[in-house]
Amino acid sequence: MEITVNHLMFGLFAAMIMVFSILTVTTRRILRAATFLLLVLVATAGLYFMLNYQFMAGVQLTLYAGGIVVLIIFSILLTSHISQKFEPVGWKKAYFSALASIAGAILCITTILQHKFQATTEAAKEIDMKLIGNSMLSTDRDGYALPFEVISVLLLAAMIGAIVVAKRKKLKE
């Protein structure tokens, strides 16, 4: 099999995802964990570009890598000391958690590799911004107007809820 630029790019992104996602959950400094999470999310956006979903890659970069990671870093700065190191995980807990995760991963990977996936023979549709916008607001069979409206209500509720929860309570007289 010939090695192409695609293979190299995929290998780079896959290696970044694997290494940094494991470092995210094992590092003992919290700010480093947030940085590794950011790198995982950026590499995931690279995978979306490789799948030709440019819009999803852009959303991934702005919302996940831009929004959520910044939110997480802010809350880290509000709640912990930068130089603080976590206690090392007890060996029993680490051992059994690793055992459960590795067993689950092996099970899933063998299932994936054994299953014969049936691809449809329809012609591929190129997903561009016009198609995304039209189907987001259409009420036809392939339209997503209802979930779009529902999620806008959900975002409003989450925004109000977050403000109410985080608001400082008034001191009682």
Q: How far is the CB of 6 from another protein (least distance, A)?
A: 6
Task: Give the integer Cα–Cα distance in Å for 144 and 137.
Answer: 6
Q: Does 131 bind another protein (CB under 8 A)?
A: yes
Considering only 39, 42, 48, 61, the residue that binds another protein (CB under 8 A) is: 48
Q: Does 67 bind another protein (CB under 8 A)?
A: yes
Q: How far is the CB of 82 from another protein (least distance, A)?
A: 13
Q: How many C-beta atoms surround the C-beta of residue 102 within 10 A?
A: 10
Q: For residue 155, with 0-12 CB atoms within 10 Å meaning exposed, 13-18 middle and 19 or more buried, which class applies?
A: exposed
Which phi and psi (to 5°) does residue 85 adopt?
-110, 140
Considering only 12, 39, 42, 56, the residue that binds another protein (CB under 8 A) is: 56
Q: How far is the CB of 148 from another protein (least distance, A)?
A: 8
